[in-house]
Structure formats: structure tokens, C-alpha cells
């Protein structure tokens, strides 16, 4: 079924336009970064640096990926079931 | 099921959003800290909602021009998925607000406006449920849909900017676009918007096809 295909296409087109913007905005960004650094010393700000260094964050990422995979597989199975029904109704 | 190109893109971009969203470097900012990564998961909910509700309005207008069952079903299901995104957006936003602004709900103009916006779309489904006659339900809710979207845009994008809001980019606050978000973030943020929106479109697609089949079975029975 071709429904919504053109929406997906428009969306992808939109993104590629945004990406081009990012590429052209590179030079302006360098100035912005120094501005942020001038406002607060970067090393003083609390970040989860050690967490990633210890590798524990990978467990979280893996966990979220498993959840996402489960949902995607469920969605795919639903999609297949609906496709089967569509085929049965046609014949 | 046909594995069309955009379904594959959805999966790839979602995986990319999660891996890069958690592991890439982000700007070091006070108060926000690592919670700035919520930009990849909270903000796309609202982008996705606006796009899906836009699709819903498009099909509502299409229904009013050519009243087919298919147009009505797609319009409803897109609104339903948009509402799901909106509810997820408000829940994730409340969690984020708790750690950065101090309260789950600080009566921020944008928070209030989005709550009103969601209520308008809940009312859309109440309205749909109150008609027994199919044609009437489809036509009147299509008209309501257009008005609801026209009211939602100023609620979310114009009114919060006229007063003081805690949200970035409102009431004199700098937006993420001005200096909070650098290009390293944009490289993850834009794909994340696409990824979540495409997931919404995919679910809408499956649900619409299901509803169309259901109608066909009812007609034949």
C-alpha cells in the first residue's frame, strides 16, 4: 500500500536540506563554542565522564536498544499480519 | 509486508539516535548537565506530534474535498498517533523539568499551552465518539480537526514567546538554536526528529490499514 509514502519522502528531503545547512554553518559554530567556554570553565561542569569511561553506559545503551528492537519486531509482526489480511481480503 | 526503503531508514535512524544520543559528546552546560541529551528524545516527540497532526489536517481537508472512508481513517489515525506523541512529550518534559526547573509542573506558559492543546485533541476523539452516523462523524470531525490545528499553532509557537517562559527560545530565553546546541548535537538531533516521526508514520500506516480492513469486513458481513 502506497499510503503515506510521499510523507516519508518529504520528510527525508527536509532532513537532507537541514544537513546541508549544518555543513555550511560550521564556521559560525566555532565562535559559538568559545563563547560557551568563556561563560563557564568546561571542566567545572558535572558530567557523566567516568560513567562512560568505566563502560557502564554501554549497558544502558544496550538495554534501550533491546527495548527498541522488541518494539520494532512487534511493529513488524503487526505490519505483516495486516498485510496478510489485506491479501486474504483481495482473494 | 514490504520492507520499503523508509521503514529501513526508520530502524537505522532510531538505532543511530540511541547510540549517538547516549555516547556522543554534548556541550557542557550548568544545570542541564547530561540531561541535555533529552533533546534527542523529548523534543522529537513534539516535532513528531506537529508533523502527524499536520498529516491529519491534510487528510481532513482531503476528506472534505473527496469524502472517502480512507481519507477519514488516515486523518483519525494520524491524529491518534500525534496525540500519543504529545502525551509522551508531556511526560518526558515533566521528568526533565523536575531536574532542571525544580518542579514537574511549574505552570510554564508552554507547558500549560501544550496541555490545552492535548485536551483539544482529546475533545476531537470525544466528538468522534458522539456520532452514530458515519458520514456525519467524518465530516464534522474533519472540520473540527482543522480548527484544532489552527488553534494549536499559536498556542505552542506564538503565545509562549509573548510572555516569560522557561522553555528555550521563549520570552527572551535563548533557544537551543542560538548557543546551547552546537553542530555536534544537530548531527544527532535532526536524524532523531526524522526517526521518531517516521516511526509514528509507520504505526499510523499499520493502524490505518487495519481500520480499512475492519471496515471492509463489516461491509461484507
CA distance A80 to chain B (A): 5
Q: Is A48 on the interface with B (CB under 8 A)?
A: yes
Rounded mean pLDDT of chain B? Answer: 90
Nearest chain A alpha carbon to B22: A61
> What's the pLDDT score for residue A18?
61
Beta carbons of B19 and A61 less than 8 Å apart:
yes
B29-85 pLDDT per residue, tens: 878 788 888 889 999 999 999 999 999 999 999 999 999 999 999 999 999 999 999
Contacts of A26 in chain B (CB under 8 A): 183
CB contact under 8 A, B182 and A8: no
Measured in angstroms, the CA of A27 and the nearest CA of chain B are apart by: 10
Distance between CA B180 and CA A36 in Å, rounded?
8
Instruction: Give the model confidence (pLDDT) of B115-147 as tens digits.
Output: 999 999 999 999 999 999 999 999 999 999 999
pTM for the predicted model, two decimal places: 0.80
* Best B12, B55, B189, B194 residue to mutate vs chain A (most A CBs within 10 Å): B194
Residue B86 has pLDDT above 60, yes or no: yes
In this prediction, residues B149-175 reach a mean pLDDT of: 79
Between A1 and B154, where is the model more confident? B154
Phi, psi of B133 (to 5 degrees): -85, 125
Cα dihedral sign, A74-A77-A83-A86: negative
Q: What is the pLDDT of residue A30?
A: 47
Cβ pair B209, A1 in contact under 8 A: yes
* Residue B204 to residue B52: CA distance in whole angstroms: 9
Task: Summarize the confidence of residues A54-80 as an average pLDDT.
Answer: 83
**Residue at grid coordinates 554501554:** A58
Instruction: Find the mean pLDDT for residues A61-70.
Output: 86
Residue of A60 and B217 predicted with greater confidence: B217
Cβ contact A61–B208 (<8 Å)? no
Residue A43 C-alpha, separation from nearest chain B C-alpha, in angstroms:
8
Amino acid at each position: 500500500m502506497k499510503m503515506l509514502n510521499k510523507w516519508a519522502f518529504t520528510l527525508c528531503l527536509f532532513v537532507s536540506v537541514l544537513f546541508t545547512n549544518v555543513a555550511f554553518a560550521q564556521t559560525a559554530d566555532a565562535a559559538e563554542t568559545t563563547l560557551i567556554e568563556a561563560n563557564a570553565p568546561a571542566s567545572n561542569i558535572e558530567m557523566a565522564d567516568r560513567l562512560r569511561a568505566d563502560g557502564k553506559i554501554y549497558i544502558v545503551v544496550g538495554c534501550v536498544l533491546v527495548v527498541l528492537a522488541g518494539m520494532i519486531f512487534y511493529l513488524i509482526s503487526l505490519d505483516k499480519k495486516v498485510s496478510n489480511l489485506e491479501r486474504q481480503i483481495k482473494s | 509486508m514490504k520492507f520499503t526503503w523508509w521503514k529501513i531508514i526508520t530502524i537505522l535512524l532510531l538505532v543511530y539516535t540511541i547510540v549517538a544520543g547516549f555516547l556522543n559528546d554534548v556541550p557542557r552546560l550548568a544545570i542541564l548537565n547530561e540531561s541535555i541529551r533529552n533533546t534527542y528524545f523529548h523534543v522529537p516527540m513534539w516535532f513528531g506530534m506537529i508533523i502527524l497532526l499536520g498529516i491529519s489536517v491534510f487528510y481532513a481537508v482531503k476528506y472534505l474535498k473527496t469524502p472517502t472512508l480512507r481519507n477519514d481513517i488516515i486523518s483519525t489515525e494520524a491524529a491518534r498517533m500525534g496525540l500519543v506523541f504529545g502525551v509522551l512529550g508531556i511526560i518526558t518534559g515533566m521528568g526533565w523539568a523536575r531536574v532542571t526547573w525544580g518542579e514537574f509542573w511549574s505552570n510554564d506558559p508552554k507547558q500549560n499551552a501544550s496541555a490545552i492543546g492535548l485536551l483539544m485533541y482529546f475533545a476531537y476523539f470525544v466528538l468522534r465518539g458522539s456520532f452514530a452516523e458515519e458520514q456525519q462523524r467524518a465530516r464534522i470531525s474533519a472540520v473540527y480537526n482543522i480548527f484544532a490545528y489552527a488553534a494549536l499553532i499559536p498556542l505552542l509557537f506564538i503565545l509562549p514567546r509573548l510572555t516569560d517562559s522557561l522553555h528555550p527560545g521563549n520570552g527572551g530565553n535563548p533557544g537551543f538554536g542560538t548557543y546551547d546546541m552546537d553542530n555536534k548535537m544537530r548531527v544527532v538531533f535532526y536524524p532523531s526528529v526524522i526517526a521518531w516521526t517516521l516511526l509514528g508514520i509507520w504505526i499510523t500506516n499499520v493502524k490505518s490499514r487495519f481500520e480499512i480492513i475492519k471496515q471492509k469486513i463489516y461491509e461484507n458481513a
